[in-house]
A and B are shown apart, each in its own frame.
Chain A
Amino acid sequence: MISRRNFLKNTALGIAGGALSLAAFEIVDPKKLMAMEAADKAKLRWVFLVDTYKCVGCGLCVKACKQENETPYDSSVTRTWVERYVLTKDGKVHADTPKGARDGFTTSKIDLGMGKMEEINNADIDKAFFVPKLCNQCDNPPCVQVCPVGATYQAPDGVVLVDRTWCIGCGYCIMGCPYGVRFFHPVYHTAEKCNFCYHRISKGLKTACVQACPFGARQIGNIKDPNDPVTKIIMTERVGVLKEEYGTKPQVFYIGLDKEVR
């Protein structure tokens, strides 16, 4: 049995310890830690809008991105890509992204990898569509959180960048991204991903993929500007985001996002 003295002593210590940790929590205020106040006051925050009804899977965006951003053309990795989803009457979902759709989709057969293709009868299709993907420049980027050296970071305007001179190549950010947008650059060997063509948008140009898309399926805008046409659509029309359950707060919005999209 614990003595009264020891009980009182331990309780006092417990309360003191608890109070100290709670005080520390105030000092380490999450809001300040993530500078959420600064983000609220900013005038520029880049966001992206994808219309999956308009995308036809031509892949011209992927080609333009690779050439603009100097990702090796014949390499499997790409900063952006387009996925195809074909839903057949038997309830099955067939999806593929041959070379990231760099050459478009020029066959109705689904690429199953390992050289295998699956024939789909057009009559069996319930619905099918194309979904362009790129870095979501999340508001809570899990890739930035796990970088051990501060090589990847979020710029004040929301774009997540990678410092090629500081990246040690551990790959933690690549494993940390739920969307699979990151990869090791085949030439520079540092982590790499879409950065909304930061060198273009900072000069008032559109990103290479937005400019290249003939169908207007891709658009970029500033969510802090209420007059931006992209902002207007996001605020007044029904839009979705990818994998919301991870809490990353992605900033690429989709019109016509189907439940089957991965």
Chain B
Amino acid sequence: MKNHVFRPLIVFLGIVALILLARIVLVPKDFGVGERGYMYGWHRHGNEEEWKNQIIKVKYQGKEYCKDCHSDKYESINKTPHKIIQCENCHGPAGTPEGVVHYDADKRPKLPIDRSRAQCLRCHYPLPYPTSGRSKIRSIDPDKHNPDIECSSCHNPHNPMGGLR
């Protein structure tokens, strides 16, 4: 009988059938070709929505969010060159990964304040680089300019040169 030669092929096809059956169970229903075609769009469609709304919460709110409660600081800083800085650059994001947003009296009444010299040196460390906007920022030598104290001891970040030379 010629049949016996094809026996392994039948076994092989059986395994393929099992894999195809497993696919029905294991592959999410919304997996497929997207608008970008097979090469660039092969994915589980539900994931797009997950990234938009579920996986990460919005944390940084922007200056306008702080304006109503902290109008004094907002207006003060807006009169100085520091108006370009976001409140959250120094005070951290208003929201947390868990989705708790300042101002929440029970959970998030206060935001941290970064008073370190390192924070100010981000812009004010002297790097006189030709062609870069960095060279236009007033700078200090951190080893010589009051090296032992916080910058905010003399410079109010919301009014950095107020009352000073």
Residues of A at the B interface (CB closer than 8 Å) are: 32-36, 38-39, 42, 52-60, 63-64, 67-70, 86, 103-108, 122, 125-130, 140-141, 144-145, 147, 150-156, 161, 163-166, 195, 198-200, 202-203, 205-206, 208, 211-212, 214-217, 256
12 A-B contact pairs sorted by A residue (CB < 8 Å): A33-B38, A60-B86, A60-B89, A70-B97, A145-B40, A150-B44, A153-B40, A155-B36, A156-B36, A165-B44, A166-B44, A211-B62
With both chains docked as a complex, state the minimum distance between the C-beta of A91 and any C-beta of chain B, in angstroms: 16
Q: Which residue of B is nearest A198, CB measured?
A: B51
Q: Which one, B51, B89, B121, B129, contacts A86 given CB within 8 A?
A: B129
Q: Which residue of A is nearest B31, CB measured?
A: A150
Interchain CB contact under 8 A, B36 and A153: yes
Q: Which one, B51, B59, B122, B133, contacts A59 given CB within 8 A?
A: B122
Q: Which one, B38, B60, B127, contacts A211 given CB within 8 A?
A: B60
Interchain CB contact under 8 A, B51 and A161: yes
Interchain CB contact under 8 A, B121 and A155: no
Within 8 A of A (CB), among B107-149: 118, 121-123, 125-134, 137, 142
What residues of chain A lie closer than 8 Å to B133, measured between beta carbons? 53-56, 215, 217
B47 at the interface (CB under 8 A from A): yes
Interchain CB contact under 8 A, A34 and B34: no
B25 at the interface (CB under 8 A from A): no
Interchain CB contact under 8 A, A103 and B40: no
B48 at the interface (CB under 8 A from A): yes
Interchain CB contact under 8 A, B35 and A108: no
With both chains docked as a complex, state the minimum distance between the C-beta of A182 and any C-beta of chain B, in angstroms: 16
Residues of B at the A interface (CB closer than 8 Å) are: 31, 34-44, 47-48, 51-53, 55-60, 62, 84-86, 88-89, 92-93, 97, 118, 121-123, 125-134, 137, 142
Q: Give 9 A-B pairs besides A38-B37, A154-B34, A217-B133 with Cβ atoms closer than 8 angstroms.
A: A36-B37, A105-B122, A105-B127, A125-B128, A127-B132, A128-B132, A129-B129, A164-B55, A211-B86
Q: Which one, A33, A60, A105, A161, contacts B39 given CB within 8 A?
A: A33
What residues of chain A lie closer than 8 Å to B92, measured between beta carbons? 67
The 7 closest A-B pairs by CB, nearest first: A35-B37, A104-B122, A153-B43, A128-B129, A150-B42, A214-B84, A56-B134
Interchain CB contact under 8 A, A105 and B125: yes
Given the known interface contacts A33-B39, A55-B132, the answer about A155 and B48 at a Cβ–Cβ threshold of 8 Å is yes
Q: Which residue of B is nearest A28, CB measured?
A: B38
Q: Which one, B40, B86, B128, contacts A144 given CB within 8 A?
A: B40
With both chains docked as a complex, state the minimum distance between the C-beta of B63 and any C-beta of chain A, in angstroms: 9
Interface centre among B121, B132, B142 (most CB of A within 10 A): B132
